[in-house]
Every structure is written in structure tokens, then in C-alpha cells.
Amino acid sequence: MIGARRDEAAARIAHETGIDEAMIGRLVRRFYDKVRADPLLGPVFDARIDDWDGHLQRMCAFWSSVALMTGRYHGRPMEKHMLLPVDAAHFDRWLTLFRATAAEVCPPAAAAHFIVRAQRIAESLELGVAGFSGVMLRKGERFRRAATASEK
């Protein structure tokens, strides 16, 4: 029953947006090329990812699950992000790069579909990172880490 509903939802989304696995692959690869070259995000990712091919495959499965409800991804993204040295600035930059990449790679309906989900993911991860850091955010409040001595 659940599998049939998932298949129906995936088919409907694909029909309405044009999203398919090939598009997801192009989006993920182009986006992470930008992330790796970005002066704010690149160092965070490079310090933690040794196997970029494996990471890109996991991200394709993740976005397939998020965008098409395929259930291909079986991980725990919150756990992976809670310990990262990131805050609102990182999530804002991530969203800026993602929006730009989706607009480049995808037709408008697909880009909008991806972007809405990316915004929700960024908000959720920011709330999780803040909470793990002992900060409870109010509605509309953003997580800002205190500057370290080396950043002052």
C-alpha cells in the first residue's frame, strides 16, 4: 500500500515538474562543484568528505527521496550536520548556491519544487544545529555562532 502510494506520488511529481533521476544527478553534481569552490562552504565540506563520489551518490539518493518521494535515501542527515561548525551564514550561502544551481539546471517548475524543499531542509538543519549547540531559536530567529579569537 505505501509503496503504491509512493510510486503514484513520484509519477505525479515527475509529470508535473519534469524531474527525473538524470536531472537530480545534474543538479547535485553542479551544486557540489559550486560548494567545493565556495570560500565559506568549501572548507567545511573538504574537512569532512574524503570520498566525493560516494557523497554525491548519497546526495542523489537523498534528493531523489526528497523531490520524488522514492525512498532511496536511508540516512540521518540531522546527525551528520549537528557537529558542523556552521550557522545562519552557512545555511544562507548554501541556499543561495542551491537556488542558483536549480535555476541553471532545471526548468522553472522543477527548480521551484527543489527550492521549496531546500528551504525547509536548511531551516530544519539550522534549528537542529542551534539546538545541539544549546540555543533555542524563536520563530524567525537565526543561529549565529560567537566569533572565535582567530576570526576577530
CATH of the domain at 105: 1.10.490.10
CA 38 → CA 2, 23, 45, 70, 94, distances in Å? 40, 23, 10, 30, 10
Is there a contact between 115 and 102 (Cβ–Cβ < 8 Å)? yes
* Domain limits for position 1: 1-133
Instruction: Please write the tens of the pLDDT for every residue from 42-68.
Output: 999 999 999 999 999 999 999 999 999
Per-residue pLDDT, averaged over 108-122, amounts to 97
Model confidence band, residue 147 (pLDDT cutoffs 50, 70, 90): low
Residue 56: inside a domain:
yes
Residue 148: inside a domain:
no
| Chain Cα centroid distance, residue 100 | 13
Residue 142: inside a domain:
no
Residue 25: inside a domain:
yes
Model confidence band, residue 151 (pLDDT cutoffs 50, 70, 90): very low
Total domains in the fold of the chain: 1
Q: Which amino acid is at 134?
A: G
